[in-house]
Amino acid sequence: QVQLVESGGGLVQAGGSLRLSCAASGRTFSSFGMGWFRQAQGKEREVVAAIDRRGGLTYYKNSVKGRFTISRDNAKNTVYLQMNSLKPEDTAVYYCAAGSYSSSPNHYDYWGQGTQVTVSS
């Protein structure tokens, strides 16, 4: 089992920045690929970014490339999502997930409870 706890969400104006953190406990964090997903109201959950277990491979949704950065610190059992130049369309509940490095939510076995990100225009 892996427990995931996200933090760092909040309300920010368009153009601002937020840094999400996801702290993991339980099984060896470094054995998992990690992903950040988001779900806006009335929409399906979608991938935002993913990182492989060593941090050498990353994937980004096209609309966040150049604005968001995923990283991980295996010594701290934590994965981060730095979000810059935020837009109102980034508003959603953001979830971190642990599993196999993939852009598909079906490849992740463990999920956090989510953190709300709201970007005002």
Residue 77: is its pLDDT beyond 80?
yes
Q: Please tell me the total number of residues recorded for the chain in this structure.
A: 121
Provide the pairing of β-strand 2-7 with 92-99. unpaired
pLDDT digits (tens, 9 = 90+) for 40-62: 999 999 999 999 999 999 999 99
What band does 1 get if pLDDT is binned at 50, 70 and 90? confident
Percent of the chain with pLDDT over 90: 97
Report pLDDT for 26. 78
**Helix, strand, coil abundance in the chain, percent, nearest 5:** 10, 55, 35
Report pLDDT for 23. 98
| Residue 107, phi-psi category: left (phi > 0), alpha (psi -120 to 50), beta (remainder) | alpha
Residue 64: is its pLDDT beyond 90?
yes
Report pLDDT for 27. 73
What is the mean predicted confidence (pLDDT) over 63-83? 97
**Torsion angle, alpha carbons of 112, 54, 101, 82, to 10:** 50
What is the mean predicted confidence (pLDDT) over 103-118? 97
Mean pLDDT of the chain: 97
